[in-house]
């Protein structure tokens, strides 16, 4: 009988320990989720332009577009391949901005600004250096660091991964934050498919742009977005 009581007592202790452990585990993870949620700034509004860009970025990620540079007679590459500039081109086109047409017109009117002798509508708009010049002329130029950088969804960010500082990579800011509280970006490198990463400060930022320069549409309310899991940036292997 004594052994039976001891056995029942042990079972009771084990059951109580499991219950307490489970309670602490749930409570701990609930607090972690709450802390993360409060670290996300409330995004009260997105313009229709921003919403359209973000929606297309998710389409590109889901499409698993692989990295493949090249010249294409129709300008755009086939749907399943592309480079970093195509991320910007496709998402802005979805929001009603045809960069192929706009860049071509601007180059032909201001060749000295682009340093282009023979404009080629099929490739000029897919070069990082040309997009940087175009946005510097036709979009809002913003600080690249510090409290006044004011990163917002659909902003364009241009990096340089070389010591000369030549712009050789481009991406789009999202409405998510990484583990450090920085906006994530959607971009495309030789090592990845189109993806969202904690890449904003991976390389020196040489330019930060916002479209449109004038006549922004009235904002529409949206709910705040939860943070996305942080993903370490891959090595930028080549310029576009």
What's the CATH code of the domain at 146?
3.90.1720.10
Cis omega (within 30 of 0) for bond into 212: yes
Q: Does residue 238 fall inside a structural domain? A: no
Q: Are residues 121 and 133 in the same domain?
A: yes
Same domain, 32 and 97: no
CB atoms within 10 A of CB 116: 17
Q: Is residue 163 part of a domain?
A: yes
Do both 128 and 14 map to the same domain? no
Q: How many CB atoms lie within 10 A of CB 75?
A: 17
pLDDT interval class at 146 (50, 70, 90): confident
Do 34 and 97 lie in a common domain? no
Q: pLDDT confidence of 71, banded at 50, 70, 90? A: very high
pLDDT in tens, 191-213: 899 999 999 999 999 999 999 87
Mean pLDDT of 20-31: 32
pTM equals 0.75
Residue 122 belongs to some domain of the structure: yes
Report how far residue 218's alpha carbon sits from residue 201's, in angstroms, rounded to the nearest whole number.
30
Find the DSSP H helices in 45-83.
48-63
Q: Is residue 209 part of a domain?
A: yes
The verdict on residue 56 lying in a domain is yes
One domain, residues 118 and 215:
yes
Q: Which pLDDT score, from 0 to 100, does residue 147 have?
A: 81
Q: Evaluate if residue 17 carries a pLDDT over 50.
A: no
Whether 22 and 29 have beta carbons less than 8 Å apart is answered as: no
Helix (H) or strand (E) holding 122: none
155 and 70 share a domain? yes
Same domain, 97 and 208: yes
The whole domain housing 20 covers 1-38
DSSP string of 16-39, one letter each residue: HHHHHHHHHHHHHHHHHHHHHHHT
**Whether residue 141 is found in the same domain as residue 123:** yes
pLDDT of amino acid 5: 39
Are residues 14 and 72 part of one domain?
no
């Amino acid at each position: 009988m004594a052994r039976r009581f001891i056995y029942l007592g042990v079972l009771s202790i084990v059951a109580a320990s499991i219950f307490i452990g489970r309670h602490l585990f749930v409570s701990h993870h609930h607090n972690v989720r709450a802390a993360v949620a409060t670290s996300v700034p409330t995004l009260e509004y997105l313009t229709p332009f921003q919403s359209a860009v973000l929606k297309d970025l998710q389409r590109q990620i889901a499409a698993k577009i692989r990295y493949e540079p090249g010249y294409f007679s129709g300008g755009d590459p086939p749907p399943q391949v592309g480079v970093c500039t195509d991320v910007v081109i496709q998402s802005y086109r979805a929001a009603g901005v045809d960069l192929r047409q706009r860049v071509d017109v601007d180059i032909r009117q201001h060749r000295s600004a682009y340093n282009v002798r023979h404009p080629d509508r099929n490739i000029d708009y897919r070069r990082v250096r040309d997009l940087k010049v175009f946005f510097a002329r036709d979009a809002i130029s913003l600080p690249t660091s510090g409290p006044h950088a004011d990163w917002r969804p659909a902003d364009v960010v241009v990096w340089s991964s070389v010591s000369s500082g030549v712009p050789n990579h481009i991406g789009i800011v999202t409405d998510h934050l990484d583990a450090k509280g920085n906006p994530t970006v959607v971009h495309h490198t030789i090592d990845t498919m189109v993806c969202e990463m904690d890449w904003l400060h991976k390389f020196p930022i040489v330019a930060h742009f916002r479209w449109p320069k004038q006549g922004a549409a009235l904002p529409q309310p949206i709910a705040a977005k939860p943070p996305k899991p942080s993903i370490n940036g891959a090595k930028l292997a080549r310029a576009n």
